[in-house]
């Protein structure tokens, strides 16, 4: 295989990756970062969909045309209806639909933790898949500012309303990982029963 063939193959691979649809949890992370005014959050979201368009122009396109701004033949990613609804809101200076996106992306986690904590912990983990592969202790410590020696009291789950005791915090952490695994791998809904287990541990 000569250089020209290798180059063409690399370009095809890059285009395929750019066109891959945004996963539900990716959309949730983008929307949550926009809601919390994270730096360049909207620009990153728009770049995934319109990689060849300057962010301000892409925002105006979405404001004007909505979902029709996306070119199915282009090299940018696409996303589902709920993602477009939220992006259109953000481009128009409104709040994204975090509750709907969290329930859509991670129904078991949503039932266990609620929308805000679900979005926060998935964003902190980096993805739903990454969260599903964590240990209970790693999940319990998510949200600390420092990687080493962070205080447990700064973690996302420590501040959750269900974590009233040390025991309930441990149970909440293990059930959060289990909920993430259910959302990633099985599709079965057991979020309400997981929440009851945490309540029982209090």
Q: What is the pLDDT of residues 91-143, one digit of tens each?
A: 999 999 999 999 999 999 999 999 999 999 999 999 999 999 999 999 999 98
Pair (75, 9) in one structural domain: yes
Residue 148 has pLDDT above 50, yes or no: no
Residue where one domain finishes, among candidates 100, 121, 144 = 100
How does 55-92 read in b/e, with b if 16+ C-beta sit within 10 Å?
A: eeebbebbeeeeeebbeeebebbbbeebbbbbbbebbe
Are the C-beta atoms of 121 and 138 separated by less than 8 Å? no
Residue 19 has pLDDT above 80, yes or no: no
The answer to the question of residue 111 being in a domain is no
Pair (93, 142) in one structural domain: no
Pair (10, 94) in one structural domain: yes
Domain count for the chain, please give it.
Answer: 2
The answer to the question of residue 12 being in a domain is yes
Q: How many CB atoms lie within 10 A of CB 160?
A: 22
Are the C-beta atoms of 189 and 108 separated by less than 8 Å? yes
Pair (17, 73) in one structural domain: yes
In this predicted structure, what is the pLDDT of residue 14?
A: 47
Q: Is the pTM of this model over 0.75?
A: yes
Pair (23, 96) in one structural domain: yes
In this predicted structure, what is the pLDDT of residue 144?
A: 76
Closest CA to 32 of 108, 107, 127, 112: 127
Residue 154 has pLDDT above 80, yes or no: no
In this predicted structure, what is the pLDDT of residue 85?
A: 96
Pair (61, 147) in one structural domain: no
In this predicted structure, what is the pLDDT of residue 8?
A: 46
Pair (63, 140) in one structural domain: no
Q: Each residue of 23-67: pLDDT tens digit?
A: 999 999 999 999 999 999 999 999 999 998 999 999 999 999 999
Are the C-beta atoms of 15 and 75 separated by less than 8 Å? yes
Q: What is the residue range of 39's domain? A: 3-100
In this predicted structure, what is the pLDDT of residue 97?
A: 94
Residue 152 has pLDDT above 80, yes or no: no
Residue where one domain finishes, among candidates 100, 122, 157 = 100
Residue where one domain finishes, among candidates 82, 100, 118 = 100
The answer to the question of residue 126 being in a domain is no
Pair (11, 83) in one structural domain: yes
Are the C-beta atoms of 125 and 199 separated by less than 8 Å? no
Say which residues have a Cβ less than 8 Å from residue 187's Cβ, sequence separation at least 6: none
* pLDDT, average across residues 12-17: 50
Pair (149, 78) in one structural domain: no
The answer to the question of residue 124 being in a domain is no
Q: Residue 22 class from Cβ within 10 Å (0-12 exposed, 13-18 middle, 19+ buried)?
A: buried
The answer to the question of residue 119 being in a domain is no
The answer to the question of residue 115 being in a domain is no
């Amino acid at each position: 295989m000569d250089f020209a063939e290798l180059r063409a193959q690399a370009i095809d691979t890059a285009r395929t990756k750019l066109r891959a649809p945004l996963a539900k949890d990716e959309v949730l992370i983008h929307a949550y970062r926009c809601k919390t005014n994270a730096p360049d959050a909207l620009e990153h979201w728009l770049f995934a969909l319109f990689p060849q368009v300057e962010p301000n122009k892409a925002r105006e396109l979405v404001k004007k045309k909505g979902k029709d701004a996306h070119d199915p033949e282009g090299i940018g990613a696409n996303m589902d209806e709920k993602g477009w609804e939220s992006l259109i809101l953000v481009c128009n200076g409104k709040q994204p639909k975090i509750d709907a996106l969290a329930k859509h992306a991670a129904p078991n986690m949503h039932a266990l933790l609620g929308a805000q904590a679900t979005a926060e912990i998935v964003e902190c983990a980096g993805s739903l898949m990454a969260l599903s592969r964590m240990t209970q202790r790693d999940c319990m410590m998510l949200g600390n500012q420092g990687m080493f020696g962070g205080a447990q009291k700064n973690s996302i789950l420590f501040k959750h309303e269900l974590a009233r005791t040390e025991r309930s915090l441990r149970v909440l952490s293990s059930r959060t990982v289990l909920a993430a695994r259910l959302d990633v791998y099985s599709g079965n809904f057991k979020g309400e029963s997981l929440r009851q287990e945490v309540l029982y541990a209090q």
